[in-house]
Structure 1
Amino acid sequence: MEELIETATNMSIEWAPKLVAALVILFIGMWVAKKIRGGIRNVMGKKNVDPAVAGFVSSLCYYGIVAFVVIAALSKVGVAATSFVAILGAAGLAVGLALQGSLSNFASGVLILIFKPFRIGDFVELAGTSGSVKEITIFTTELATPDNKKVIVPNSAAMGGNIVNYSAHDTRRVDMVFGIGYGDDIDKARNIIKAILEADDRVLADPAPAVAVAELADSSVNFNVRPWVGTADYWGVYNDVHEQVKKRFDAEGISIPFPQQDVHMHTVAANGAD
């Protein structure tokens, strides 16, 4: 019994300081990790960083510090830190391979939230789909198409291709093509188109609309018509100008060629000679 008590006493004397030191390291480390996490959130909040990004970065720093503190505390009590780190690395590799697609979406979501190539409410084209951005999450982006369909685009697909943001600028150019017949007056047609554009208050005066002959096609003389408008007025101007051009051309006797085919019939005399 005396030997047992002596052995327990010696072990207590040897291990007690190590355990106390490990607990102190663990306690102080956890406290510091929480303070750093809160500080990062506050700083990023003042910089108007997206809350999702701020939460992700602060949590990443927090768990990184916690892992370091745990390894330091275990080393203090004699646990081999190299073995522990190797186990964590192997586990992280296995999880990363299993969640490769999700991690790709996650990383792309972080990039979207940081660099903001588009925002909620923008009309964009992502991964071959056009629509208004309704929600941006860390894994996916939700679009509402013009016919009110809900489309979920993985963030990796959005960042892996071209991103077309139609709402990025306040103005857009409307590109239209109008054809007239070869027998019609080019100057008269040009003046009619210019008058239609000048009468529309939504068409910007600067830069001035461009109306020019662009092509002598197979059956028509084509005009390129390119006015500048506010982004919100794009489709309204596009539709209204087409309607007004048709009405004015009809009223002024200017033809609008359409695809047609001429068939020429030839009479062949019967040959009765042998």
Structure 2
Amino acid sequence: MQTGNTTQTSTEDANTATSWLGNFDFKQIIFDYGLKVVAALAILIIGLFIIKMIVRVSKKIMKKRGVDDTLQKFLGSLLSWTLKILLFVIVASQLGIETTSFAAIIGAAGLAIGLALQGSLSNFAGGVLIMIFKPYRIGDFIEAQGVMGTVKEIQIFTTHLNTVGNKLAILPNGAVSNGNIINYSAEEKRRVDLVFGVSYDADIKQTKDVLMKIMTDNDTILKEPAPSVTVLELADSSVNFAVRPWVKTEDYWDVYFYMQENAKIALDAAGIEIPYPHSVEIHKGE
């Protein structure tokens, strides 16, 4: 009896399957899905072409605006991959694949990468800002993050400086872009700020004439703006004079050292004393 029921059930299942297959229109399904595949391929091909054109145009715009070559390549690559990922999602959606999961995966991956590379992303953003706004260029003498030196290289994540002692200093762009930057090469002219102290016995007018003559005798020192000598301070043991010659930026250090040496020579020749600390030895009685 049980065997008969089993046989009857199997027959019914077979009839159901046959009926379902009979109602199943393979041609229609293949036609519909084939259209989706063709449409997806068309979107893919046209999308890749459009992405290529967008990247090419963006690079031309960046080049026209003087964006650094390194930044051009990096931003072009970033734009290309971002658009390709978006295109992949669109193609998958056209094929009928649920794209919500893709968006969730991409979002989670982006969050994880962002947290893992938080410092690097900050440096990258700083590098982008530096290359776009150009607070300094290669060859400029700058001071940043407590370091002074000549800019040797500007990379996406770091800036390389050659210090005065010819040491290589590597500064993270994130910290540089968020901190104070002094660019000593930005302007064509610079003022050399010097202070010379002389004895209270020295004649003020004579001292000013001597210091001014040192500057007027040097052709490197500019006539405009005119150099100046003024009394800066009546200090404890000296009268301090502020000496301010103007020079071309590239002549700054030559004039600085020239003034240090020749001021001493000229003041000595004029009999003007430059005071210095004296130590007094005190003998105690036995």
TM-score, structure 2 as length reference:
0.87
Give the alignment partner of residue 250 of structure 1, picking from 234, 245, 268: 268
Are 1:104 and 2:158 counterparts? no
Pairwise CA RMSD: 2.2
Which amino acid letter does the alignment assign opposite residue 67 of structure 1? I
Counterpart for residue 14 of structure 2: none
Say which SS state the counterpart of residue 187 (structure 2) adopts: coil
Counterpart for residue 113 of structure 2: 95
Counterpart for residue 9 of structure 2: none
Give the alignment partner of residue 65 of structure 2, picking from 44, 47, 57: 47
Separation in 2, partners of 1:204, 1:117:
26
Quickly say closer, same or farther: Cα 1:259–1:4, change in 2 above 3 A.
Answer: farther
Q: Deviations over 1:23-72 (max 9, x none)?
A: 11111111110111112112322333222232233333322322222111
Are 1:260 and 2:244 counterparts? no
Say which SS state the counterpart of residue 177 (structure 1) adopts: strand
Separation in 1, partners of 2:24, 2:284:
127
Q: Which moved more, 1:251-260 or 1:42-51?
A: 42-51
Give the alignment partner of residue 200 of structure 2, picking from 178, 182, 195: 182
Which amino acid letter does the alignment assign opposite residue 166 of structure 2? N
Counterpart for residue 237 of structure 2: 219
Say which SS state the counterpart of residue 221 (structure 2) adopts: coil
Give unmatched runs, 5+ long, in structure 1.
268-274
Say which SS state the counterpart of residue 242 (structure 1) adopts: helix
Counterpart for residue 237 of structure 1: 255
Identity of aligned residues (%): 48
Separation in 2, partners of 1:233, 1:47:
31
Counterpart for residue 83 of structure 2: 65
Query: 1:103-182 alignment to 2 at 5 Å?
Result: 103-182=121-200
Quickly say closer, same or farther: Cα 1:210–1:162, change in 2 above 3 A.
Answer: same
Say which SS state the counterpart of residue 64 (structure 1) adopts: helix
TM-score, structure 1 as length reference:
0.91
Give unmatched runs, 5+ long, in structure 2.
1-16
Q: Deviations over 1:140-159 (max 9, x none)?
A: 11111111111111111211
Separation in 1, partners of 2:90, 2:282:
95
Separation in 2, partners of 1:168, 1:102:
28
Q: Which moved more, 1:15-24 or 1:58-67?
A: 58-67
Counterpart for residue 272 of structure 1: none
Are 1:23 and 2:41 counterparts? yes
> Between Structure 1 and Structure 2, how many residues are aligned?
268
Computing the radius of gyration from Cα coordinates, the structure with the larger value is 2
Counterpart for residue 271 of structure 1: none
Separation in 2, partners of 1:52, 1:245:
48
Counterpart for residue 31 of structure 2: 13
Say which SS state the counterpart of residue 259 (structure 1) adopts: coil
